[in-house]
């Protein structure tokens, strides 16, 4: 099969998605085809002057102009939502730089990405063309967090339907609670603030003092500030700017001058995995409402990357899979391949008609109930997702150093999850032996479950 003139050999075809062409397969075939081509460096700058970059080659010929653009644009997309950035440097080709600048602009195909990154970093988004010898050097400043068990600490986990808090003294949990709340249905941020403060004060009442607070929360946080978070989706932009961005630091001040660390919940899950597996280089992937991801590097540190792989490219053969976020008019992204949406999207292809009146979560549950009852039709759904997953892991391994995949979330549970994992392992072993030799797919055990997000957050 060809994509933009690049010949791609496919081995395992997903049973319900014969048009699937993984971004990994395309990128590997492209790089082999362009190995005698012209050098190109793609670099992204994020907060603190940190630089992520990819050194590669393109064809640089009219014949492969479209292939060059597709490869570079998908690599930029991957770097943007994996590492993050507000400046994109295309080094070594002015024409390609101009195309990327057009695409990633307020009027371009990636206007969503342009606006998203400006929101996250509060900086103008730029695409800059540079000569190859002027490419910025790679630089990162990973954040050492977790493992702080001395003293009196509070851990808070902000979930979408419940909030959890733990009081931890010298590593021992002296109090914890789980309380239902409705953050996604309340437009007044004072509601969220009051609930957070109540949780903090409840935990504090069980400690002689409070030395530190750690928060695990879905979303993107820069310097403890809320930049993007689904918990506050119904809050107006004005109230978000005025009351949500610093909501956790303001809540901490209600207890005095207490240091606080706010971290994405995916990174906290990966940190919990590092504790339970007693190892590092862990990519935690939760397949649920969307694809949520966290990462701990070989030193056991949080990298400061966005790890928003729900927005990263999985399939260059897709033409209709649109992401969940409004105005995100892109195709072949992780959220449509590793979430309940993937199961629902594939169900009709497996001959399963779901009640349109059901919520998304209940549609997933309906498919899972079928397979648990012995219905063979859903098997192909989870086999298909398993093939997707193997190819995605191979692609992620081009950007992350991974020893362990910690797989979480409702989609990976039950018989369907077993089939998904079995299929992914088989494809990895047969098609990507080098990747397979480096990583293992692990499921959370009882120790992981006992830890809990709020308890791990207390060590931040």
The string of pLDDT tens digits covering residues 264-276 is: 988 998 988 888 8
Q: Give the predicted TM-score (pTM) of the model.
A: 0.91
Residue 28 lies in a domain: no
Span 309-337, average pLDDT:
82
pLDDT at 321 over 60: no
Beta strand pairing call for 51-58 and 152-158: unpaired
pLDDT at 102 over 70: yes
Q: What is the pLDDT of residue 318?
A: 80
Q: What is the pLDDT of residue 305?
A: 94
Q: What is the pLDDT of residue 276?
A: 86
Span 100-125, average pLDDT:
96
- Residues 391, 334 contacting (CB under 8 angstroms): no
- Asked if 118 and 246 sit in the same domain, the reply is no
3-state secondary structure the chain: CEECCEECCCCCCCCCCCCCCEHHHHHHHHHHHCCCCEEEEEEEECHHHCEEEEEEEECCCHHHHHHHHHHHHHHHHHHHHHCCCCEEEEECCHHHHHHHHHHCCCCCCCHHHHHHHHHHHCCCCEEEEECHHHCCCCECCCECCCCCCCCEEEEEEECCCEEEEEEEECCEEEEEEEEECCHHHCCCHHHHHHHHHHHHHHHHCCCCCCCEEEEEECCEEECCEEEECHHHCCCCHHHHHHHHCCHHHHHHHCCCCCCEEEEEHHHHHHHHHHHHHCCCCEEEEEECCCEEEEEECCCCCECCCCCCHHHCECECCCCCCECCCCCCCCECEHHHCCCHHHHHHHCHHHCCCCCCCCCHHHHHHHHHHHHHCCCCCCHHHHHHHHHHHHHHHHHHCCCCCCCEEEEECHHHCHHHHHHHHHHHHHHHHHHCHHHHHHCEEECCCHHHHHHCHHHHHCCC
- Asked if 147 and 130 sit in the same domain, the reply is no
CA 38 to chain centre: 32
pLDDT at 30 over 70: yes
- Asked if 127 and 208 sit in the same domain, the reply is no
- Residues 315, 70 contacting (CB under 8 angstroms): no
Q: What is the pLDDT of residue 326?
A: 62
Residue 456 lies in a domain: yes
- Tokens 């993984």 appear where? 22
Q: Name the CA dihedral angle for 119, 272, 332, 220, rounded to a multiple of 10 degrees.
A: 0
Beta strand pairing call for 282-287 and 404-408: parallel
- Asked if 231 and 358 sit in the same domain, the reply is yes
Q: Give the residue, 324 or 307, on which the prediction is more confident.
A: 307
Span 318-342, average pLDDT:
80
Residue 24 lies in a domain: no
pLDDT at 450 over 70: no
Maximum separation of any 2 CA atoms in the chain, in Å: 71
- Asked if 396 and 429 sit in the same domain, the reply is yes
For the chain, what is the mean pLDDT?
A: 93
- Residues 187, 234 contacting (CB under 8 angstroms): yes
Span 109-126, average pLDDT:
95
Q: What is the pLDDT of residue 161?
A: 81
Length of the chain in terms of residues written: 460
Total domains in the fold of the chain: 2
At 280, which CATH number? 3.30.420.40
Span 267-295, average pLDDT:
91
Q: What is the pLDDT of residue 451?
A: 64
Q: What is the pLDDT of residue 399?
A: 97
Residue 261 lies in a domain: yes
Among 266, 300, 305, which residue's Cα sits nearest to residue 453? 266
Q: What is the pLDDT of residue 174?
A: 96
- Asked if 87 and 149 sit in the same domain, the reply is no
Span 206-225, average pLDDT:
94
Q: What percent of the chain has pLDDT over 90?
A: 82
Structure tokens at 213: 């607070």
Residue 22 lies in a domain: no
- Asked if 71 and 153 sit in the same domain, the reply is no
- Asked if 157 and 123 sit in the same domain, the reply is no
Band (pLDDT 50/70/90 cuts) for residue 101 is: very high
- Tokens 């003139």 appear where? 5
What distances in angstroms separate CA 268 from CA 145, 211, 445, one per listed residue? 10, 20, 16
Residue 214 lies in a domain: yes
- Asked if 379 and 276 sit in the same domain, the reply is yes
Q: What is the pLDDT of residue 322?
A: 64
- Residues 53, 135 contacting (CB under 8 angstroms): yes
Q: Give the residue, 148 or 352, on which the prediction is more confident.
A: 352
Q: What is the pLDDT of residue 234?
A: 93
Residue 98 lies in a domain: yes
Q: What is the pLDDT of residue 141?
A: 86
Structure tokens at 91: 């080094």
Range of the domain at 97: 34-134
- Asked if 150 and 230 sit in the same domain, the reply is yes
Q: What is the pLDDT of residue 448?
A: 73
Q: What is the pLDDT of residue 147?
A: 77
Span 207-221, average pLDDT:
94
Span 225-246, average pLDDT:
94
- Asked if 124 and 200 sit in the same domain, the reply is no
pLDDT at 320 over 70: no
Q: Give the residue, 307 or 446, on which the prediction is more confident.
A: 307
- Asked if 240 and 121 sit in the same domain, the reply is no
Residue 10 lies in a domain: no
Least confident range of 135-149, 151-165, 424-438:
135-149
pLDDT at 324 over 70: no
Q: What is the pLDDT of residue 53?
A: 96
Q: What is the pLDDT of residue 138?
A: 95
- Tokens 């001395």 appear where? 150
Q: What is the pLDDT of residue 149?
A: 86
Would you say the C-alpha torsion 68, 71, 77, 78 has a positive or negative sign?
negative
Residue that is last in its domain, among 117, 134, 151:
134
Q: What is the pLDDT of residue 347?
A: 98
Beta strand pairing call for 51-58 and 212-217: unpaired
Q: What is the pLDDT of residue 245?
A: 97
């Amino acid at each position: 099969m060809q994509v933009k003139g690049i010949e791609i050999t496919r081995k395992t075809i997903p049973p319900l998605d014969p048009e699937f062409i993984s971004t990994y397969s395309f990128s590997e075939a492209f790089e082999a085809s362009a190995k005698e081509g012209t050098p190109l460096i793609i670099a992204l700058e994020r907060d603190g002057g940190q630089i992520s970059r990819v050194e590669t080659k393109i064809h640089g010929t009219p014949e492969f102009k479209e292939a060059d653009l597709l490869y570079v644009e998908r690599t930029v997309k991957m770097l943007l939502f994996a590492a993050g950035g507000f400046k994109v440097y295309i080094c070594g080709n002015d024409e390609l730089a101009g195309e990327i600048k057009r695409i990633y602009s307020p009027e371009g195909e990636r206007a969503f990405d342009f606006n998203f990154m400006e929101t996250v970093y509060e900086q103008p988004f730029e695409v800059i063309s540079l000569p190859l010898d002027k490419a910025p050097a790679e630089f990162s400043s990973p954040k050492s967090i977790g493992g702080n068990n001395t003293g009196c600490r509070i851990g808070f986990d902000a979930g979408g339907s419940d909030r959890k808090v733990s009081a931890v003294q010298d590593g021992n949990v002296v109090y914890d609670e789980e309380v239902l709340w409705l953050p996604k249905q309340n437009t007044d941020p004072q509601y969220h603030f009051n609930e957070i403060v109540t949780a903090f004060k409840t935990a504090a009442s069980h400690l002689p003092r409070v030395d530190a607070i750690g928060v695990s929360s879905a979303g993107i946080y820069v310097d403890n500030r809320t930049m993007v978070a689904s918990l506050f989706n119904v809050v107006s932009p004005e109230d978000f700017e005025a009351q949500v961005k610093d909501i956790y630091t303001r809540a901490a001040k209600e207890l005095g001058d207490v240091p606080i660390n706010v971290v994405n919940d995916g990174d906290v899950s990966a940190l919990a995995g590092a504790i339970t597996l007693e190892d590092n280089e862990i990519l935690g992937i939760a397949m649920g409402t969307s694809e949520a991801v966290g990462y701990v590097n070989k030193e056991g540190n949080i990298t400061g990357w966005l790890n928003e792989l729900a927005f990263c490219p999985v399939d260059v053969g897709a033409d209709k899979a649109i992401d969940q976020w409004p105005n995100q008019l892109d195709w072949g992204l992780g959220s449509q391949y590793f979430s309940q949406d993937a199961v629902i999207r594939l169900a009709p292809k497996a001959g399963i008609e779901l009640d349109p009146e059901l919520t998304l979560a209940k549609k997933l549950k309906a498919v899972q109930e079928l397979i648990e009852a012995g219905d063979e039709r859903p098997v192909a759904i989870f086999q298909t997702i398993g093939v997707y997953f193997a190819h995605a892991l191979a692609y992620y391994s081009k950007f992350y150093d991974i020893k362990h995949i910690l797989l979480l979330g409702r989609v990976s549970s039950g018989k369907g999850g077993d089939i998904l994992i079995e299929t992914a392992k088989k494809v990895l072993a047969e098609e990507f032996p080098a990747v397979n030799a480096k990583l293992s797919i692990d499921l959370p055990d009882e120790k992981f479950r006992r830890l809990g997000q709020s308890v791990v957050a207390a060590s931040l």
